[in-house]
Structure 1
């Protein structure tokens, strides 16, 4: 079952990220975003198995700075407890998150991740659309997914909020 996170999920979400990444950086990132104006409650989703939170995905506001400063979505982080990985839970979280972002009228989603995984959802290298990473990364790993509200004005360099500096 996939649903929006609620106040009772905070520690379970922290545990999911800590287990999945074997460190606390991503869990702390979620907490910092949750406490910021970048947080979008409808786009913080958990996956449950037998009433236990086993996965989490967060889409939050980031900026695209070019001719205009535009608000777009960043997908980060995505985590599934190791014993539940490779069972489609992460894919389901991405799919539901993208569908929700679409219904909210969002224009595009940015992700830094594994090209083979994210390409299945329509993510493509960001440079194909004139969108640059703020740091040096492999070109195929910094990707965007265009949503229905996308317009060509969405070009420039991605700027992540301060919460991302410690990841």
Structure 2
């Protein structure tokens, strides 16, 4: 558990646990103004594809969430998706804190790389690269497909398709 100060409030980042499901659903639905991302979280959890699920909690209330799940390909790689913060708590560093904590925890594990689909201008600050992902095949927009090696040389000369867990098919 990590504690950080935001706007004179105390925020705790911790692993999601049983009983957090409704609050996580609320965060993801509010952040994306639809329920699809919340349904993705639930489907990944139900299928056993969740590797790490973190929440940001302020005053006992969950205000942010990030999920890291297994990819089918490349082997030993993960996906970051979704990440959501309640709209009234956005632009205060909560999403960044969740990502940084997730990266720190995953760096201690035996994962090769982390893929995501998002805004390059935002994710480059964490080390994600569109250029490094160019050699991988995906049905998603290439200009928004990024990767970050979690282990030095983790991807080596690896290339080929990026195959997300089956739950992601709801986005196709």
In the TM superposition, residue 153 of structure 1 has moved relative to its aligned partner by 4.5
Q: C-alpha root-mean-square deviation of aligned residues, in Å? A: 1.5
Q: CA separation of 1:151/1:162 partners in 2, compared to 1, >3 Å: closer, same or farther? A: closer
1:19 corresponding residue in structure 2: 30
CA distance in 2: counterparts of 1:12 and 1:130, whole angstroms: 38
1:3 corresponding residue in structure 2: 14
In the TM superposition, residue 94 of structure 1 has moved relative to its aligned partner by 0.6
Superposition pairs for residues 1-150 of structure 1, below 5 Å? 1-40=12-51, 43-64=52-73, 70-125=75-130, 127-128=132-133, 130-133=135-138, 135-137=139-141, 139-148=142-151, 150=154
1:165 aligns with 2:169: yes
1:156 aligns with 2:160: yes
After TM superposition, the score normalised by the length of structure 1 is: 0.89
Q: 1 or 2 for the larger relative contact order (CA 8 Å, sep ≥6)?
A: 1
CA contact (8 A) 1:64 1:154 kept: no
CA distance in 2: counterparts of 1:33 and 1:136, whole angstroms: 19
Flag as ranges the 4+ runs of structure 1 deviating above 6 A: none
Structure 1 alignment gaps of length 5 or more: none
Structure 2 alignment gaps of length 5 or more: 1-11
